[in-house]
Chains A and B, each alone.
Chain A
């Protein structure tokens, strides 16, 4: 049996090589067919004789120096363009970790203090206001993000703590990685794991304040915030209606949650269960401990906000329920437009300009070095020339 196997292997190798050579010989001179004469003479194919035609680039001043200059000349304008794009993006960032509760009962304490006070119940979130002035209207689409800092969504145990299959709608999934958030009351938690359990649950309302003090609610859309591919490939509700008796029968809600997974968005029945976009956005764990996540888009269909968020006084009403100060975290709310290249980020622009400049400097330096000291002569080499260099 083994013999047959090795024979087959040999044949295979020979075949591959022959085919290979066939293809090479079509280009090169015709090799002596080894079948004609039964000698051990090796084939004269260019492949076997290591004579395949080849491009042999070598580093010369003629190729290297222009490369430096080309890179330099190309990178600087690109960098400037990138900087311009980034600069065109308008962004309003408001940190609200320590915002004060508007509830008179709380006696002007910060919501953070309210949340951590012993007699606080989860059922009654603390509410606070963030007032700010937009001096220049935000043109184009406006997106609303929440940001967290010092929040380790990328911690190994955190990242791992989810069940991919459960989120794909399989009810019999083992939930093995979800511990200790796998089961509650002997029922599987839906969705299980630390990520889902720590779902960000502050809510925001954006209001435009008129000079008269009237509030105009800015319409926010909470759908279309998750990646289409995630919705398509990674999250799927179990079969059945999104009720306690339907798709999520015999499941428990995550410990930290106030509402079950099928009640996340009362306003939009289809935006519930595992396919809830807020959940999907949260479940795509951030790469860094400082991150922002898309919370809503300003609805462009509303007349006032069709093309921009006009300049003016705004207020965000925060339903403050998510404690972060215990581990030194902060929370932000961000309003931002986007450019063709996305959000505000001068990094690439600056980097391109710097690299471009460095290349130009290198180019000039090497040009001088080459002209002054470069060794070009190859005429002097003989078979006794020693191996120098490094």
Chain B
């Protein structure tokens, strides 16, 4: 039955998306829809195909199946082609396209009860109890009044209904909010304000800056030149950088002339609604001409218009047809592993119940034959039973089967589900209320958006984390630098004169003398500013280079200068230069204007040699004051190779500084310049031009040219940029790993960046024995690489040298020769949590640990895999191998992965490892993995609300994850398990009394207890204490859970509640019921009162057993409670009091049939002796058992608890466990890098001049104007004018999302 329940529930929820999270997720922000897509397509189109198609079909099949099973009406026949005529309502309405009305709610006031009840009875549990109810209505079978089932069932139904009603009310509200947003629609040639829900296909609407796009539009015209418009697609794909869209030149001319636009009658033929965000196909027929439409001309719902004053567009898809909505998969209802276990257990209980019934049936048959048939003198058989002895006994026995099914049904606890939900809800409140997870700066508390997963937080084995915005703040900070061999940037404490780490309160250098300074910029070394102000040439050169050599675009916003950079690194460098007085003011395709302390300078741009993966450097060639200079910045080893004659001392010192920077986890770049000879440059330029227009081997030729000119450079210095980690990330990761949780970082970033961050957040350490890098492009390569990893993993650790060699080759791909730091050589500080942890092989104490990797005494392994390799690793052939390798590694980093791959990786682990997975991320690109994992956590950060809306928990900072898991998760799991163990115990103890009694009542299904007692036992008499326990109990205080992360491991190993634990509880309940029956039996057999009254009657016996039962289970909860707040006291003693009160109230006031029985019993001393005896008989063994384990085999929690008490007794504060804040200061290989943007930068746009509001005069002599001829297509434009190597374009194409 229970398995069926699960299936039905799943189905139910799939159709209705019943979880509150899903309800809120879709419309809350009007853009809160989900995207599952293969954004960052791989270089290999075929592979991309595989990626996108594979799950899509599976999902479709599933959906179709779900529809078949659960939906009564088939969806309308699919659209094959969409035909729209702009501004022609009549024509468009014949196709009945969906309007822009969004509906996510399920019920209306009228349909609520029928629909909701229908849904609820689809749950097998409810249905089961409804059937029981019907059975109870049948006279001959009914062994209990129907009220015993009716009362709890009504309770359950109404609580669920109330919750559903509330959820649906929220959905109504969200829908209304979205549908009522206002947009400007052109109706009859006039702009009218309409609600979003009234926007229809074919309407022309006007969008303004910073507005959300209301529907999928075909862009007609914009305020910007060339019909360009800029959009931010953060809500769609998580990318915060701007993308541009361009209207057709023909329609762009319409401008904002409303009469013209009102008359626009283009006919659009296009593809039917689909979920592909990056593709659009269609044609526009207008004025007798036919235009091809592609994705470049489409604005999608959910985007935000930026830097564009206004634009007009024709609605193509509206409402549920929009790509955004097409992408919003229904939220899958998530169940915890305990839920699934419960289903199995309940199935088992039902089996046990049927067995008991069967036993009673047979026994009844025997009894009726031996005794019952002769007892007919006084008790004739039921009317249904035939007169014949055998036949009568048989029929009676068969009827008794059902009667016992009714009597014993309480072993299947109906209130279990409700209680569990209530507890989870309360636990969710505790999460929401936690001050320690409240982020003061952003005013964001943690929030449990799904209230049904709390205890699973205590069982997480794999964490899949996004990098940008999750581990890091996505803020690059110019932190230190080395200029001409002099190191700047260390903060020296004025008191002690030593270098210390600046804190929030440290006084930063005052830049306010510079009117262009940014208050947010903080630098702590006054000497550098002094050097600049004193006119130090080296520092001037340094900052001049920074202000010139980049592809940043300036922008003026609110009268302030802002920079639009393709990567945050560049932004940081240019900003730094700005604050030090070298302000980058503006650029044209042919010039850069900067302001230096000595006045404004205009540099003529001759060429930009852009970044790419291979070059790892960028140069600009500029002419200023008659001199041609090449400025270059790049990865240290690359630039060092290309230096000319440099003073060896400066070089050595710079290298030393680079080492130091890298050791601090900073990203370094080396700056150099070179004076160029006029004649040489002219000659070189000519060759460059030839190369750039050549048709064969163009890239190679250009590369060679660049190589040629970028040499004999003069070293200026080096920069160190901190990719700022979020607060507390290394400590959090260290603690989580110590708790036995494995962390996988899945990032869209480049491999180098990802590895760099891996080191700085302590996920990777130099103690690691080896870091495998898998970067093959073909299946064979990947397989070979994985197999090699496998070999290494199974090889004993002795031959570390081989690894060392390999590591230096593969991991630190552009760095100085790797300096292997032996863990035994002082370098590894023994105080470091991380190193100590890795010494122990901590990552491997999970159940599926691998003995070989555990054996390796020091270090461990880490795996870094690239997106393009992952494609193959995730195929069915290699996935097991990949998983085996990955799971033996302490840390796994997947870089350059698409959102879909993130989900696939999570799914892989979920599928093959019986482990709980948790995904954490902040952007829309994490949505798919957040939804796939057992638990999705969203960081409520800057990247929009996408992740949060589809998450189950939202926190403001990564570091709160530690508390969410180690404190709340642990407690929730601990409490829930305690609750479940107790709940089964108490129901077995309760129900099995009937079973024992059956031996004395001729197996007639007579109950021991008052039917009313049965009805409310779980509801009133025993619910409060255990609820209090399940909400408030703490085995150890929160501080201890964080100090001793190992306390988390019971959750990982399912120690607190599993089949064995259930069996123990059930057995204990079984024994309890036996004692509960036998002691009163002995006491009350033939008992009389001192007044001579017989007190051995059925009602008194029932009342006594019931009361002793209540006392015993309450005493048991007292034994179980380890944290007695006044609330626990209230609940425990209140519950006992309530029992007595309700018993008397019911019997005396409402006229129960057991009236007087309990009063009679309680007036006799026998009762009290009997109760005391029963309690002691049952509690002493428990006490002995527990004491035995605490005394001889204490668990960590026992020890911690004892320690807690000792500390308290000594009034000594627990000294905070010493973590090593300076862990990252340890010697480490140099990692020099540059965070490349996810997609192509503005290089192309800069040089093409397209981005300029006011195009520069065409008469410019610069080579960039060569291709500029009015109406040429942007792409052709780029090809010719883009001076930087064309490979950068292809790089952009490869990594970008176009």
Q: Are A and B interaction partners?
A: yes
The residue on A at minimum CB distance from B1095 is: A342
Query: Is B1249 an interface position by the 8 A CB rule?
Result: no
Q: What's the least CB distance linking A222 to chain B, in Å?
A: 13
Residues 286-299 of chain A: 1 if any B CB is under 8 Å from the residue's CB, otherwise 0?
11111111100100
Q: Are A385 and B1199 in contact (CB under 8 A)?
A: yes
Query: Is A338 an interface position by the 8 A CB rule?
Result: yes
Q: What's the least CB distance linking A255 to chain B, in Å?
A: 11
Q: What's the least CB distance linking A312 to chain B, in Å?
A: 22
Q: What's the least CB distance linking B422 to chain A, in Å?
A: 13
Q: What's the least CB distance linking A325 to chain B, in Å?
A: 9
Q: Are B435 and A42 in contact (CB under 8 A)?
A: yes
B1005: chain A residues within 8 A (beta carbon): 156
Give complex CA distance A41, B1044 in Å.
Answer: 28
Residues 1021-1047 of chain B: 1 if any A CB is under 8 Å from the residue's CB, otherwise 0?
000000000001010001000011111
Give complex CA distance A6, B379 in Å.
Answer: 55
In the complex, identify which listed stretch (B539-547, B901-909, B1177-1185) lies at the interface while the others stay far away: B1177-1185
Q: Are A291 and B403 in contact (CB under 8 A)?
A: no
Choose one: A151, A225, A362, A386; the contact of B1093 (CB below 8 Å). A225
Give complex CA distance A334, B1089 in Å.
Answer: 15
Give complex CA distance A287, B1100 in Å.
Answer: 8
Give complex CA distance A297, B1180 in Å.
Answer: 42
Query: Is B259 an interface position by the 8 A CB rule?
Result: no
Q: What's the least CB distance linking B956 to chain A, in Å?
A: 10
Query: Is B95 an interface position by the 8 A CB rule?
Result: no
Q: Are B1124 and A55 in contact (CB under 8 A)?
A: yes
Give complex CA distance A80, B1173 in Å.
Answer: 14
Query: Is A40 an interface position by the 8 A CB rule?
Result: yes
In the complex, identify which listed stretch (B205-213, B549-557, B1078-1086) lies at the interface while the others stay far away: B1078-1086
* With A287-B1101, A348-B1083 as contacts: A194 and B109 at CB distance below 8 Å: no
Q: Are B1155 and A233 in contact (CB under 8 A)?
A: yes
Choose one: A41, A68, A152, A382; the contact of B435 (CB below 8 Å). A41
* With A6-B169, A64-B1183, A347-B1082 as contacts: A381 and B1169 at CB distance below 8 Å: no
Q: Are A229 and B1189 in contact (CB under 8 A)?
A: no
Query: Is A150 an interface position by the 8 A CB rule?
Result: yes
Q: Are A369 and B1180 in contact (CB under 8 A)?
A: no
Q: What's the least CB distance linking B101 to chain A, in Å?
A: 20
The residue on B at minimum CB distance from A233 is: B1155
Give complex CA distance A49, B437 in Å.
Answer: 11
* With A48-B430, A352-B1169 as contacts: A198 and B378 at CB distance below 8 Å: yes
- Which of B1217-1231 touch A at CB < 8 Å? 1217
Q: Are A387 and B1196 in contact (CB under 8 A)?
A: yes
- Which of B834-881 touch A at CB < 8 Å? 836-837, 840, 842, 845
Q: What's the least CB distance linking A352 to chain B, in Å?
A: 6
In the complex, identify which listed stretch (B528-536, B1202-1210, B1236-1244) lies at the interface while the others stay far away: B1202-1210
Q: Are A152 and B379 in contact (CB under 8 A)?
A: yes
B1176: chain A residues within 8 A (beta carbon): 71, 75, 355, 359
Residues 139-179 of chain A: 1 if any B CB is under 8 Å from the residue's CB, otherwise 0?
00101010100111111111101001000000000000001
Query: Is B274 an interface position by the 8 A CB rule?
Result: no
Q: Are B1004 and A338 in contact (CB under 8 A)?
A: no
* With A326-B374, A381-B1044 as contacts: A294 and B1092 at CB distance below 8 Å: yes
Q: How many chain-B residues does the 8 Å CB contact rule pick out? A: 123
- Which of B1154-1207 touch A at CB < 8 Å? 1155-1156, 1159-1160, 1164-1166, 1169-1170, 1173, 1176-1177, 1180, 1183-1184, 1186-1206
Query: Is A284 an interface position by the 8 A CB rule?
Result: yes
Choose one: B374, B1004, B1177; the contact of A155 (CB below 8 Å). B1004
Q: Are B1092 and A291 in contact (CB under 8 A)?
A: no
Give complex CA distance A228, B1023 in Å.
Answer: 34
The residue on A at minimum CB distance from B436 is: A49
Q: Are B1046 and A343 in contact (CB under 8 A)?
A: no
Query: Is A186 an interface position by the 8 A CB rule?
Result: no
Query: Is B382 an interface position by the 8 A CB rule?
Result: yes
Q: Are A339 and B1044 in contact (CB under 8 A)?
A: no
A1: chain B residues within 8 A (beta carbon): 109
Query: Is A378 an interface position by the 8 A CB rule?
Result: yes
A281: chain B residues within 8 A (beta carbon): 1094
Choose one: B169, B1038, B1189; the contact of A389 (CB below 8 Å). B1189
Choose one: A54, A291, A384, A387; the contact of B1050 (CB below 8 Å). A387
* With A49-B434, A157-B379, A355-B1177 as contacts: A383 and B1124 at CB distance below 8 Å: no
Choose one: B1045, B1088, B1128; the contact of A342 (CB below 8 Å). B1088
Q: What's the least CB distance linking A364 to chain B, in Å?
A: 12
Give complex CA distance A389, B1189 in Å.
Answer: 7
Query: Is B165 an interface position by the 8 A CB rule?
Result: yes
A180: chain B residues within 8 A (beta carbon): 380, 383
* With A153-B1098, A159-B1006, A285-B1098 as contacts: A385 and B1044 at CB distance below 8 Å: yes
The residue on B at minimum CB distance from A7 is: B169
Query: Is A374 an interface position by the 8 A CB rule?
Result: yes
Give complex CA distance A96, B687 in Å.
Answer: 131
Q: Are B435 and A287 in contact (CB under 8 A)?
A: no
> Which of A158, A370, A387 lies at the interface centre, i.e. has the most chain B CB atoms within 10 A of its CB?
A387
Q: Are A9 and B162 in contact (CB under 8 A)?
A: yes
Q: Are A388 and B166 in contact (CB under 8 A)?
A: no
B166: chain A residues within 8 A (beta carbon): 6, 9
Q: Could you say which interface size class chain A belongs to?
A: 35 or more
Give complex CA distance A40, B442 in Å.
Answer: 10
Q: Are B738 and A383 in contact (CB under 8 A)?
A: yes
Query: Is B832 an interface position by the 8 A CB rule?
Result: no
Q: Are B1098 and A159 in contact (CB under 8 A)?
A: yes
Q: What's the least CB distance linking A336 to chain B, in Å?
A: 7
A150: chain B residues within 8 A (beta carbon): 371
Query: Is B91 an interface position by the 8 A CB rule?
Result: no
Query: Is A250 an interface position by the 8 A CB rule?
Result: no
B1034: chain A residues within 8 A (beta carbon): 50, 54, 56
Give complex CA distance A338, B1092 in Å.
Answer: 7
Q: What's the least CB distance linking A333 to chain B, in Å?
A: 14
Q: Are B443 and A56 in contact (CB under 8 A)?
A: no
Q: Are A50 and B1096 in contact (CB under 8 A)?
A: no
A161: chain B residues within 8 A (beta carbon): 379
B1082: chain A residues within 8 A (beta carbon): 345, 347-348, 351
Residues 1111-1129 of chain B: 1 if any A CB is under 8 Å from the residue's CB, otherwise 0?
0000000000011111110
A257: chain B residues within 8 A (beta carbon): none
Q: Are A286 and B1097 in contact (CB under 8 A)?
A: yes
B1201: chain A residues within 8 A (beta carbon): 56, 58
Give complex CA distance A155, B400 in Å.
Answer: 12
Give complex CA distance A2, B105 in Å.
Answer: 14
Give me 13 A-to-B residue pairs in the complex whose CB atoms sit less than 8 angstroms apart, sorted by A's number.
A68-B1183, A154-B1098, A234-B1156, A285-B1097, A287-B1084, A287-B1102, A288-B1000, A294-B1093, A338-B1090, A345-B1087, A378-B1206, A381-B1044, A383-B1046
Using a CB–CB cutoff of 8 Å, the interface residues on chain B facing chain A are 109, 112, 143, 162, 165-166, 169, 371-372, 374-375, 377-380, 382-383, 403, 430, 432-436, 438, 440, 443-445, 738, 833, 836-837, 840, 842, 845, 1000-1002, 1004-1006, 1032, 1034, 1038, 1043-1047, 1049-1050, 1053, 1055, 1079, 1081-1102, 1122-1128, 1148, 1153, 1155-1156, 1159-1160, 1164-1166, 1169-1170, 1173, 1176-1177, 1180, 1183-1184, 1186-1206, 1217
- Return the 8 tightest CB-CB contacts between A and B, nearest first: A229-B1156, A389-B1195, A347-B1082, A287-B1101, A327-B374, A48-B433, A156-B1004, A198-B378
Using a CB–CB cutoff of 8 Å, the interface residues on chain A facing chain B are 1-3, 5-6, 9, 39-44, 48-50, 52-61, 64, 67-68, 71, 75, 78, 82, 141, 143, 145, 147, 150-159, 161, 164, 179-180, 194, 197-198, 225-227, 229-230, 232-234, 281, 284-294, 297, 323, 326-328, 336, 338-343, 345, 347-348, 351-352, 355, 358-359, 362, 366, 369-370, 373-375, 378, 381-390
Taking A143-B1088, A323-B377, A373-B1191 as given, write out 10 further A-B residue pairs in contact, using a Cβ cutoff of 8 Å, ordered by the A residue number: A54-B1034, A68-B1180, A326-B374, A336-B1088, A340-B1090, A341-B1090, A358-B1180, A374-B1191, A385-B1199, A388-B1195
